């Protein structure tokens, strides 16, 4: 009986400007196996967006096959 383990790197990215902020983090997005990612973006004029993605990357010869899903929560800025 055997098992396999793999290393999963954590990636964090951020961007900021005068009227917006964007932050995202991913675990396992650059390797084969399960992956997950979170993101949050805010804009002074448009409100914010939050997201969660999960999926699976399977190696197949010289290519990787990926499948998954993403859920977004939109919170638009109220006008007026």
Q: Tens digits of per-residue pLDDT, 7-25?
A: 668 899 999 999 999 999 9
In which band, very low, low, confident or very high, does the pLDDT at 28 lie, cut at 50, 70 and 90?
Answer: confident
pTM value? 0.72
Instruction: Please check the confidence at residue 41 and state whether its pLDDT lies above 50.
Output: yes
What pLDDT is recorded for position 24? 94
Bridge partners (DSSP) listed for residue 67: 56
Integer angstrom CA distances of residue 46 from 42, 43, 50: 8, 5, 13
């Amino acid at each position: 009986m055997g098992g396999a383990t793999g290393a999963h790197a954590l990636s964090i990215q951020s961007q900021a400007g005068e009227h917006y902020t964007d932050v995202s983090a991913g675990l396992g997005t650059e390797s084969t196996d399960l992956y997950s990612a979170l993101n949050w973006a805010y804009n002074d004029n448009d409100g914010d967006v939050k997201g969660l993605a999960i999926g699976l990357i399977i190696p197949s010869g010289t290519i990787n096959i990926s499948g998954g899903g993403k859920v977004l929560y939109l919170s638009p800025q109220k006008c007026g």
